[in-house]
A and B are shown apart, each in its own frame.
Chain A
């Protein structure tokens, strides 16, 4: 299945392996659920493919195609973008925004698509 940033996404979040899903992945799964409930698939705009988030060593991946799958650890395929930040910086981004500033100050590191990183920041912040 070809990931795409503008694909019509079914608004459903699935945990990849609930028994082995870490705390941060659960938090992000709940957050995505809330975003999708509020704005439908529009919430995931720009977030196609696999996105990785490493928050202080906790690795979470989000795969968006015909469903939204969230898991811990290694991603199921090569990520389109990988975002790294300390846990408290991730929480700050999610609650107060400021992705650009955090990126410029080196508190957030991005490997891969910058657009993907911005899409992640937007969905975290929305």
Chain B
């Protein structure tokens, strides 16, 4: 089914008005595809609600029609997670973009799903609040709530963990159209924490929109530091880089620690298609270190202690250059200005001719990071793909991020096939080393479910069915069946071929 029955369309139009119910070809094409190698979906209609009451009504209409329903914002999750099942009602949250509460004492904000990071940052700056969000390396159009719900990472993740950890509470419309709240917010006017109630928030975190439509998100904010300074350290050996990361993150002198492989550096400087091998002598990674403090004395103290750690690693293992302050690099190469801006966005990933972007992004043990990274880079080179890698410690070193990014030309079938092939190999490689994909693409879900084992999968399905008895929410993700479907006929992306 790729079309809704006329009665359902009419019900949606009665509810929202014709201008907020779109089924023209351009709109449907816009929401049915994304930047990834995944084949496009087939939306039937796009609706743009403005209130939670309207969303409840939409869910009830979808239940009656047994129509799939998927929430969407920028569509940049790079997992193909909002590609709509055939005949789906796409809920575009673009008009639910209110910042509903800013609690400066308890340091949180309540946002609707359409609020973007760019909008939130501008709001905090304009109001002069001394608070900041943890900000992802994503375009400013990225939804705050979606990033939290998909457990992404951001610039404060090195200290505070993945974005899901920053959720204090949620308001969610579940499968019967009713509205629930999670976190302390369920009983208190103040959304201060997820603790100490039974944690229902987890039922909507990384479930990829299969258990409900989140309509409000309470997210932690953090004090805005008075001073910020960024350094780069050129690294010639991955083991030395990972050792430095591990020691630095445990001591807590830095606000952010991240590693970008050499293709990223070249792309930032305007080379969109670097050769797959570095030139002789070129650093394989550059490590960036952010320091923040309330005054220069504190900042200098933090820098000195961190640099002493780097000195120790250099003397033990070599492979690290000395830190270079970003301001100096900017005087040499103004093209690096993008990397000096805060928040930083890696917009070169989206602004290239081929328009295709995909990745295997994983969380895993920091202790395996160097080996997992090195072998992953080899796989990319074997597949004629520049080894573009992002890695960082998370939550003070409790785990790490390892992400392999592939750019490709969406118009070239052979290049799309290359992107699929390298992703399959990288996914197997990461899983074998204990790294677990976040924002798990649908094509990869079977491999994770197989490793989970039947009892865990059964529990997931049971939970989903209890929250969404009609199976209307984003069917196909995690191989969950859709309305009027059985598990064997579930909508799923084609497994990438490995030929």
Contact = CB atoms under 8 A, between A and B. Distances in A.
B224 interface: no
Contact of B279 (A22, A56, A87, A95): A22
A3 interface: no
A27 B262 CA distance: 13
A95 B281 contact: no
B321 interface: yes
B328 A95 contact: yes
B89 interface: no
A44 to B, nearest CB: 16
A30 B271 CA distance: 12
A30 B335 contact: yes
Contact of A21 (B234, B279, B333, B335): B279
Interface string A17-51: 01111111111101100100000000000000000
Nearest to B277: A20
Contact of A23 (B269, B273, B328): B269
A95 B278 CA distance: 26
Contacts of B328: 91-92, 94-95
Nearest to B283: A23
B324 A30 contact: no
Interface string B254-285: 00000000100110011101110011111100
A88 B283 CA distance: 13
B278 A26 contact: no
B244 to A, nearest CB: 16
Given A26-B266, A57-B280, A57-B281, A19 B329 contact: no
A34 B335 CA distance: 10
Contacts of A95: 328, 331-332
Given A18-B271, A30-B335, A88 B321 contact: yes
A75 B419 CA distance: 35
A73 interface: yes
B273 A19 contact: yes
A92 B236 CA distance: 20
A18 B322 CA distance: 27
A21 B266 contact: yes
A9 B286 CA distance: 34
A56 B333 contact: no
A39 to B, nearest CB: 15
A26 B333 contact: yes
B209 to A, nearest CB: 40
B328 to A, nearest CB: 4
B275 A30 contact: no
Contacts of A72: 279-280, 282
A58 interface: yes
Contacts of B333: 26-27, 30-31, 34
A63 interface: no
B223 interface: no
B334 interface: yes
A59 interface: yes
Contacts of A92: 328
Given A23-B283, A91-B324, A34 B334 contact: yes
Contacts of A22: 266, 278-279, 281-282
B275 A20 contact: yes
B275 A26 contact: no
A23 B321 CA distance: 14
Which interface residue of B236, B262, B321, B332 has the most chain A CB atoms within 10 A?
B332
Contacts of A20: 274-275, 279
7 contacts: A20-B275, A22-B266, A22-B279, A23-B283, A58-B281, A88-B321, A124-B332
Q: Which 5 A-B pairs have the closest CB atoms?
A: A57-B281, A22-B279, A30-B333, A26-B269, A88-B322
